[in-house]
């Protein structure tokens, strides 16, 4: 596989901040495994441990490709990983896994709490194998509390964490907050921050630890003042359609050519600029709507004025006039818009890979951008078990004969 420009700059492996760190990712789907993807982007060696027959169900989730073991979602998010097959439901598999753990720095898992323990892979056993190990455990509800054994996916966590209730029009069906796995990404981001903090502690003290993330917690943590406002004033936030309770106008508006545009007048100054762009600067006077409080009180009237103005122009016209006055504005981009956008291209946000037998695969590039040690994508989601032999033979020093036997018994 050969990366094509203008994708990520493949930088020297040795220079990356996580080079020398070995991560074992035994998770399924995305909540947790995405943390491993990020670590791989910044230089860690990531070993994806999968069931020898089924592999990660992420391989079958999403849009299929000509490769039977890879959907597009897998190709993108399995980036930079090596696949090693081990059956953890067999005793011998557990023994091999513990040997691997002894030679690794980080373990990432997202089984239902209790599952690892059933296999003899609880924190006690893991710590015994490697006292320096940092373990990231992501689950729907966390490792503790009455709901810990319930199965949880991002879709459920969005609902339980309070986000889904807020998406949609007042009194109508709550909708997806944009995408299904949002909470998986969020919980992984919290997870990787936990891992990096724990690695600092480990390097200072030699002690590993466990990071416990409930997907719902990652979702709930991002709801600004919702808890404080309920706690203090009993205010239950409801669905707000395309708007927001804090500012007006602040939402999505339909243009004459039947496209959508986002406008966000967070402050009075921003509204003044919008009024100028609309050539109705009188709207921003104190007698009218110059004050956020007045705009909030007259929400419908203010929105109606903006709806009419936006509806009288094409998306490009609205955009141009708003940008001319520095109003915070943006197209509500579809993925087709994004592929055409010159800014996405200039920032190299779309990384293009030539993948054997599949042609070009386009995936989101590394975020964030670091000036001295930018991350990189070395490979897309690997074939099932592509590194099993290499890891067993070279890292764990298992003989070729023994590897053959383990394969025959479907332990690896």
Partner 1 sequence: MTAESAPALPLAGIRVIDVATVIAAPYCATLLGEFGADVLKVEHPVGGDALRRFGTPSQRGDTLTWLSEARNKRSVTIDLHRPEGVAVFKQLIAQSDVLCENFRPGTLEKWGLGWEVLHEINPGLIMLRVTGYGQTGPYKDRPGFARVAHAVGGIAYLAGMPRGTPVTPGSTTLGDYMTGLYGCLGVLLALRHRERTGQGQYVDAALYESVFRCTDELAPAYGMYGIVRERHGPSHNDFACPHGHFPTKDGKWVAISCATDKLFARLAAAMGRTELASSSTYGEQKTRLEHRHDVNEIVRDWCGSLSRDEVLDRCYETGTPAGPLNNIADIFGDRQFHARRNLMAVDVPDTGETVIVPSTIPKLSETPGSLRSLGPKLGEHTVEVLSELLGMDEQQIAELRQKRVI
H-helix or E-strand containing 228? helix 226-233
Classify strands 22-25 and 350-355 as parallel, antiparallel or unpaired: unpaired
Name the one range near partner 1 by CB under 8 A: 45-53, 298-306, 357-365, 393-401: 357-365
Q: Which one of 12, 370, 399, 400 is in contact with partner 1 (CB under 8 A)?
A: 370
Distance CA 260, CA 332 (A): 5
Distance CA 235, CA 232 (A): 8
Of 184, 224, 268, 316, which one is the catalytic site residue? Answer: 184
| Residue (91 or 230) nearer to partner 1, CB | 230
Distance CA 74, CA 57 (A): 9
Which value, to the nearest 10 degrees, does the dihedral of the CA atoms of residues 386, 389, 390, 392 take? 130
> 168 Cβ partners below 8 Å, 6+ apart?
174, 175, 239, 241
Q: Which one of 153, 317, 393, 403 is in contact with partner 1 (CB under 8 A)?
A: 153
With 0-12 / 13-18 / 19 or more C-beta atoms within 10 angstroms meaning exposed / middle / buried, residue 150 is middle
| Residue (221 or 410) nearer to partner 1, CB | 221
Minimal distance, residue 97 CB to partner 1, in Å: 21
| Residue (151 or 408) nearer to partner 1, CB | 151
Q: Which one of 98, 298, 350, 396 is in contact with partner 1 (CB under 8 A)?
A: 350
| Interface mask toward partner 1 for 126-145; x: CB under 8 A | --------------xxx-xx
Taking CB under 8 A as the rule, does residue 222 contact partner 1?
A: yes
Residues 26-85 that bind partner 1 (CB under 8 A): 29-30, 38, 42, 57, 61-63, 65, 71-73, 75-77
Q: Which one of 12, 117, 230, 282 is in contact with partner 1 (CB under 8 A)?
A: 230
Among this protein's residues, is 87 annotated catalytic? no
H-helix or E-strand containing 360? strand 359-364
Name the one range near partner 1 by CB under 8 A: 92-100, 243-251, 277-285, 392-400: 243-251
Residues 158-187 that bind partner 1 (CB under 8 A): 158-169, 172-182, 185-186
Classify strands 45-50 and 81-85 as parallel, antiparallel or unpaired: parallel
| Residue (90 or 292) nearer to partner 1, CB | 292
Distance CA 247, CA 154 (A): 29
Distance CA 9, CA 7 (A): 6
Q: Which one of 190, 271, 315, 411 is in contact with partner 1 (CB under 8 A)?
A: 190
Distance CA 412, CA 405 (A): 9
């Amino acid at each position: 596989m050969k990366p094509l420009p203008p994708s990520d700059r493949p930088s020297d492996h040795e220079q990356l901040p996580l080079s020398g760190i070995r991560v074992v990712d035994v998770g399924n789907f995305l909540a947790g495994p995405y943390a491993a993807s990020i670590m791989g982007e910044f230089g860690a060696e990531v070993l994806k441990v999968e069931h020898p027959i089924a592999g990660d169900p992420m391989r079958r989730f999403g849009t299929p490709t000509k490769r039977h073991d890879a959907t597009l979602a897998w190709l993108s998010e399995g980036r930079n990983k090596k696949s090693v097959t081990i059956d953890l439901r067999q005793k011998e598999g557990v023994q091999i896994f513990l040997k691997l753990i002894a030679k690794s720095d980080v373990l990432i898992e997202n089984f239902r709490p209790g599952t690892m323990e059933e296999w003899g892979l609880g924190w006690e056993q893991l710590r015994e194998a490697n006292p320096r190990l940092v373990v990231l455990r992501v689950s729907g509800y966390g490792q503790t509390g009455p709901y810990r054994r319930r199965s949880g996916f991002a879709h459920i966590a969005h609902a339980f964490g309070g986000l889904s209730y807020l998406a949609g029009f007042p009194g109508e069906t709550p909708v997806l907050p944009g995408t299904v796995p949002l909470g998986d990404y969020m919980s992984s981001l919290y997870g990787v921050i936990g891992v990096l903090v724990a690695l600092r502690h480990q390097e200072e003290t030699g002690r590993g630890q466990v990071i416990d993330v409930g997907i719902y917690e990652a979702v709930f943590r991002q709801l600004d003042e919702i808890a404080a406002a309920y706690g203090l004033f009993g205010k239950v936030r409801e669905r707000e359609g395309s708007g927001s309770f804090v500012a007006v106008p602040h939402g999505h508006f339909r243009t004459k050519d039947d496209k959508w545009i986002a406008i966000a007048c967070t402050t009075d100054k921003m509204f003044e600029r919008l009024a100028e762009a609309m050539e109705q600067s009188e709207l921003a006077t104190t007698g009218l709507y110059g004050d956020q409080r007045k705009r909030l009180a007259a929400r419908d009237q203010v929105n109606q004025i903006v709806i009419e103005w936006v509806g009288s122009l094409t998306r490009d016209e609205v955009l141009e006039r708003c940008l001319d006055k520095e109003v915070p504005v943006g197209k509500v981009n579809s993925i087709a818009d994004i592929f055409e956008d010159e800014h996405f291209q200039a920032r190299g946000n779309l990384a293009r890979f030539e993948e054997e037998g599949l042609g070009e695969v386009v995936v989101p590039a590394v975020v964030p951008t670091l000036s001295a040690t930018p991350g990189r994508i070395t490979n897309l989601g690997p074939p099932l078990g592509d590194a099993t032999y290499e890891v067993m033979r070279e890292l764990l020093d298992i003989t070729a004969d023994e590897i053959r036997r383990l394969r025959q018994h479907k332990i690896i």
